Structure 1
Amino acid sequence: MNMRRKLIFTIFALVFAAGLVMAAGQALAAEEKPTQFFGFGFYRTGPYAAGGSGYASGMEDFMQLRNMQGGVNGIMYAWEECETAYNTARGVECYNRYKDRNALYHPLSTGITYAVIPKAPKDKILIISSGYGRADASDGRIFPWIFTTPTSYWSQNTAKIKWIAKQEGWGGDMADIEKYLKGLKIANLYIDIPYGQETKPILDAMSKKFGFTVRHFPLAAPAIDQKAQWLDIVRRFKADWVINRNWGVSCTVPLKEAARLNFPREKILGVWWCGSEDDVLPAGKAAIGYRATNFHGVGKDFPIIQDVIDTVYGAGKGNISMTRVGTVFWNRGLVTAIMNEEIMRTAHKKFGNKVLTGEEMRWGMEHLNITEERIKEIGAEGLMQPMKNSCEDHEGGGLVFFQSWNGDKWINTGEVMTPMKEWVREMVEESSAKYAKEKNITPRDCSKVD
């Protein structure tokens, strides 16, 4: 009996040991899976926290989804956050912290973007400023490491002016757009930081070209008190239209001030950083009918978002409250993460399924071509727009969507405006040429670029 027990015990011990070895081997294999590292400079604190936290979590939720599905061509995501509080100095610190491990960096701030632009070529790190940053960086001949994909502030503002003309009765023929803009008074209400200042040149140029009057009303950050500016806008300037170029907690203020002075909210058009749920909910009824621009879809009725909800949040691995999934800033982060992944997939086709360097990632971005068919495969039809970059063109998209707040949620109005591409490109090349001269940069000859 004792021999039998010893035999059973020995067999059990061997099986158990083998199980431990197999489990250890599997764990080691999982640990040894190659990972593409992303060091992020995000802001989850301060007056702009709503935008930063939503954007960050949308990106991370998408990466979590892909990791749970086995990665990108077998490459897993790894990421780490550094808090910038939307402060330029801290943003540069975060960039420097990760520069030895990063192949790609999202500054998520126009000020930070300007600060890291000179660093990128030396450090060989791809810089993406999607819908923000320096507009003339769309010229890839001068700025090979910087991309504004899918659209820039300058393109957005030409689309805004086209949209305003449409509200005034314009039918869409550029030959007679001046007829509907001439004589209009447009107030550009902007927070006086690099982000807010970026669109002044394009608005000034358009006012001369099309005959409307634009007046810029600066606001000292964080721009909570706007009473004096609004009195000037309504009583003295007598604006026909107001462009809301605030940011963070100040985006709501124009809606409240407009209601106080009986200025129609339908005549206020917001930048895409003043078009989130956080910007309108505090204004209550004063926000109903307010419209803003965007460069992606709204809501969560998209297959890819449902995948995130079912897989990531279903497993309790989400990065933010479920109530914010499908909100504007969360969607923006998700769309950006999809773009990151498509950059990786493009680069993998040339360099193999591997952890990418900054130079390889930059090549992938410059050859990015996200078609409507690919968007449908991803499950993001209606959520994101096609994007196609080249050596010359680092903007790669350009479409501007319009949305309206109905008191409960943002509704896509169905209006999609293309920017004044040729004219914007002329301004981009003129501005980038000045930068190249100042910095002694020789423009790339794109006919010789792979």
Structure 2
Amino acid sequence: MKHVAKLAAAAALGALMGSTALAEGLYTPNLAYRTGPFAATGIPLMNGQADYMAMLNARDGGIGGVPVDFEECETGYSTEKGVECYEKTKGKAIVTQPWSTGITLQVLPKTNVDEIPILAPGYGFSPMADGKVFQWAFNAPLSYWDGASIILKFLQDQGDLSGKKVAFLHLDHPFGKEPLPYLETKAEALGFELLPIPVGLKEMQNQSAQWLQIRRERPDYVIMWGWGAMNAGAITEAVKTKFPMENMLGVWWSGHDADLDIVGEEGKGYKSVSWSFPNPDAPVMADVKQHVIDAGKSQASAEELDGVFYSRGLVISAILAEGIHVAQEHFDKAEISPSDLRWGLENLDMSEARLEELGLTGMVPPFSTSCSNHAGHSGGWILEWDGAKFVKASDLIMPDSEAISELEVSRAMEYAEANAPWPVNEDCEM
């Protein structure tokens, strides 16, 4: 009955714009990376994203009766190629999905001129959460600073961090450096020693120097901000050096099933913060299977379907689709503009009830956005590798919103001043 109601609503909304709009579709290009050193993690995410939109097209005729054109532009995670893809697709796009902090930082100033929303769920530049300064950028459901905060809260639950040593093993890339401002602030406040250990792009698969330093420094914990081949390299080295896996925690991009499969039982106890979780019994999974997988329209392997990253891809496209849906309803039209979508992304209300309606129960924490809050700050779970799969090792942990908000505002204004003249939405109340 819910699907019948959805189809009826979609048809009614689609009729508002006539056949021309239906032919044009909603162009939502994805700056994908199925090649290069980060492909192993990119592929399941891209497959999940594409399959969700393919499911909406097959099941509902798109969003609001308008088909979604989810074209991919391959970047190989290269910032230069990413900017080329942005320029190539921006002409008719209602959104850009950069998929790299480096690409996001290059595209960020352009969106003020082009007036196209950036959607970077759980990645990008953390101060983008300040919607007053970054009017066109969204990193919902939470930022990297939120993730760092959740990790530290979890560690504090294990015992006082005062006097402890925390190694920060990170990709030597804008992505890997993102949480440093928050971690440095908290290290001073909580009295622990923060030991940054960068991993160069050419060192991802051979981290012997970094793990020699870890063995020498003997940190109490290792927080890993890794991506792609770096994850497997670090986990393999940790096992080889007999670092206690229960004391190693990664960001959500360092919680990929395939990376832990390499070490299997020896990786037991490794943890990752996450704002998504696979739920094979969720209604959305049944719909994707029926309309996409069984129909032979998916590139996903059978192993991917129950994994953390494939389901996260579904959630990411669900966030975009909901932004489109909210904008369509508010502006009473099916063919929306980039500025319409910006309004939709600023007015998300992914409540428990709405997540249930979308068939996403248990797959993402509830969150909402506003004019000033472009992240949502949803909170996250700690996942733990049990030797064969990731399981939830905590209830939902909310980030330290007060400290993060202060940092967001100050760093956002620093960015605006450094890139003056920078338009600020003075009508946007905190």
Name the TM-score, length of structure 1 as normaliser.
0.88
Letter in 1 for 2:105: Y
The alpha-carbon deviation at position 86 of structure 1 amounts to: 0.3
Secondary structure of 2:318's match?
A: helix
Given that 2:377 and 2:399 are in contact with CA atoms closer than 8 Å, whether structure 1 keeps it comes out as no
After superposition, the C-alpha distances for 1:306-337 in whole angstroms (9 at most, x for unaligned) are: 21112211211123223312311111110011
Q: Which runs of 5+ in 2 are unaligned?
A: 1-18
After superposition, the C-alpha distances for 1:251-275 in whole angstroms (9 at most, x for unaligned) are: 0222222222221011000111110
Distance 1:337 1:367 in 2: 16
The alpha-carbon deviation at position 387 of structure 1 amounts to: 2.2
After superposition, the C-alpha distances for 1:372-422 in whole angstroms (9 at most, x for unaligned) are: 101011111100122211111111133111111112211122432111001
The alpha-carbon deviation at position 30 of structure 1 amounts to: 11
The alpha-carbon deviation at position 443 of structure 1 amounts to: 2.9
The alpha-carbon deviation at position 448 of structure 1 amounts to: 7.5
Secondary structure of 2:72's match?
A: strand
Letter in 2 for 1:56: M
User: Which residue of 317, 332, 355 corresponds with 2:297?
Assistant: 317
Secondary structure of 1:81's match?
A: coil
The alpha-carbon deviation at position 352 of structure 1 amounts to: 1.9
User: Which residue of 95, 102, 108 corresponds with 1:104?
Assistant: 95
For 1:1-400, what aligned pairs fall within 5 Å after superposition?
33-69=23-59, 70-168=61-159, 180-222=160-202, 223-235=204-216, 237-400=217-380
- Indicate the RMSD between aligned Cα atoms, in angstroms: 1.8
Letter in 2 for 1:107: P
Secondary structure of 1:356's match?
A: coil
> Which residue is 2:12 aligned to?
none
Letter in 1 for 2:54: Q
Residues 1:435 and 2:390 aligned together? no
Distance 1:345 1:261 in 2: 50
Secondary structure of 1:280's match?
A: helix
Letter in 2 for 1:215: L
Letter in 2 for 1:443: V
Letter in 2 for 1:114: L
After superposition, the C-alpha distances for 1:143-163 in whole angstroms (9 at most, x for unaligned) are: 000011000001110111110
Distance 1:397 1:200 in 2: 18
Given that 2:144 and 2:179 are in contact with CA atoms closer than 8 Å, whether structure 1 keeps it comes out as yes
Letter in 2 for 1:324: E
Distance 1:113 1:98 in 2: 15
> Which residue is 2:13 aligned to?
none
Secondary structure of 2:266's match?
A: helix
Secondary structure of 1:82's match?
A: coil
Give the paired residue count: 410
Secondary structure of 1:42's match?
A: coil
Percent identity, please.
33
Given that 2:349 and 2:367 are in contact with CA atoms closer than 8 Å, whether structure 1 keeps it comes out as yes
Aligned in 2, Cα 1:82/1:211: closer, same or farther, shift over 3 Å?
same
The alpha-carbon deviation at position 298 of structure 1 amounts to: 2.5
Aligned in 2, Cα 1:32/1:124: closer, same or farther, shift over 3 Å?
same
Q: Which runs of 5+ in 1 are unaligned?
A: 1-28, 169-179
Secondary structure of 2:168's match?
A: strand
Given that 1:139 and 1:429 are in contact with CA atoms closer than 8 Å, whether structure 2 keeps it comes out as yes
Distance 2:43 2:128 in 1: 26
Given that 1:63 and 1:337 are in contact with CA atoms closer than 8 Å, whether structure 2 keeps it comes out as yes
Distance 2:428 2:389 in 1: 47
After superposition, the C-alpha distances for 1:40-74 in whole angstroms (9 at most, x for unaligned) are: 21010111112211111111111111111122221
Given that 2:32 and 2:46 are in contact with CA atoms closer than 8 Å, whether structure 1 keeps it comes out as yes
> Which residue is 2:8 aligned to?
none
Given that 1:385 and 1:397 are in contact with CA atoms closer than 8 Å, whether structure 2 keeps it comes out as no
Letter in 2 for 1:158: S
The alpha-carbon deviation at position 32 of structure 1 amounts to: 5.1
Secondary structure of 2:76's match?
A: coil
Aligned in 2, Cα 1:285/1:426: closer, same or farther, shift over 3 Å?
same
The structure with the greater share of residues assigned to strand is 1
Given that 1:149 and 1:394 are in contact with CA atoms closer than 8 Å, whether structure 2 keeps it comes out as yes
Distance 1:356 1:158 in 2: 36
Letter in 2 for 1:141: K
Letter in 2 for 1:74: G
The alpha-carbon deviation at position 442 of structure 1 amounts to: 4.8
Structure whose CA Rg is larger: 1
The alpha-carbon deviation at position 245 of structure 1 amounts to: 1.4
Distance 1:96 1:416 in 2: 39
After superposition, the C-alpha distances for 1:231-288 in whole angstroms (9 at most, x for unaligned) are: 21122x2200001112111202222222222210110001111101122111233212
